[in-house]
Amino acid sequence: MKRLSIILSFSLLLLVGCAGNSNEEATSNFSEGVEPTEETINKPNEVQESNTEDATEVSSETGDNLYENSEGNEDEKEENPLAQYSSEEIEFARVWLQLGPNKEIDGLYVRLIPAGTPLNPDDETSLNYPEDVIQLAGSRLIDGSVTYSGNGDGSINIYNVPLRWDGIYPAGEEFYQEMIDKTKLVSIDPGEDEDVISLIKRITVHDKEENR
């Protein structure tokens, strides 16, 4: 009986030793990157921490790229200094800067002349403007004038009409018809924004009933 008890005890010790070695090997294999078994799968904390680190890394990279793209788009946006002014004001200033006889003027006066208005109100034989025109002039007679109609495409039609009419009248319809027929098509340059803005600030607009 004693011998049988000793044999049974020795067998139990062997079984316990083998089980311990198996657990140590499983733990060692998991730490070394060996594919986990059913025992190692039941460790959610370790797997979750690994996934969280990966997700954080990807999120960080994506965030950096979005930030860089956003910065690039902002850098490409340039403020237009003429945006606060009307297209008419910009046109008046550009026309005078290119065609005005005297660029250094104290003020730019604008008269809006509707179609049907006589070219020379003081001459009964005068023909009428066939279209709406604009007359630009400085504050002094010596500054000269520019009379034109806009085409809406960056070009204008120049009428060779003086600011003040001097001569012998009646001049006759042929005289005025020649002025109308000899309008000149001119393309207007954008010019420098600073010069355009400076001149816009000196613009005064009058209608046909007002005098400068």
Residues in the chain: 212
Helix (H) or strand (E) holding 65: helix 44-76
**Is pLDDT at 211 greater than 50 in this prediction?**
no
Query: For residue 156, what are its two tokens?
Result: 């204008």
Mean pLDDT of 188-202: 96
In tens, the pLDDT along 1-25 reads: 544 444 445 444 444 444 445 444 4
In tens, the pLDDT along 119-158 reads: 999 999 999 999 999 999 999 999 999 999 999 999 999 9
* pLDDT at residue 106, rounded to an integer: 93
* pLDDT at residue 83, rounded to an integer: 95
Q: Where are the domains of the chain?
A: 2-76, 87-207
Query: For residue 167, what are its two tokens?
Result: 């001569």
* pLDDT at residue 119, rounded to an integer: 97
* pLDDT at residue 70, rounded to an integer: 39
* pLDDT at residue 85, rounded to an integer: 97
Query: For residue 31, what are its two tokens?
Result: 């730490």
Instruction: Give the pTM.
Output: 0.62
β partners of residue 205: 110
Query: For residue 209, what are its two tokens?
Result: 């009933």
Tell me whether residue 194 is exposed, middle or buried, using C-beta atoms within 10 angstroms of its C-beta: 0 to 12, 13 to 18, 19 or more.
Answer: exposed
Q: 41 or 188: whose pLDDT is higher?
A: 188
Mean pLDDT of 154-167: 94
Residue 208 pLDDT grade (very low, low, confident, very high; cuts 50, 70, 90)? low
CA 114 to chain centroid: 35
In tens, the pLDDT along 63-119 reads: 443 333 434 444 333 689 999 999 999 999 999 999 999 999 999 999 999 999 999
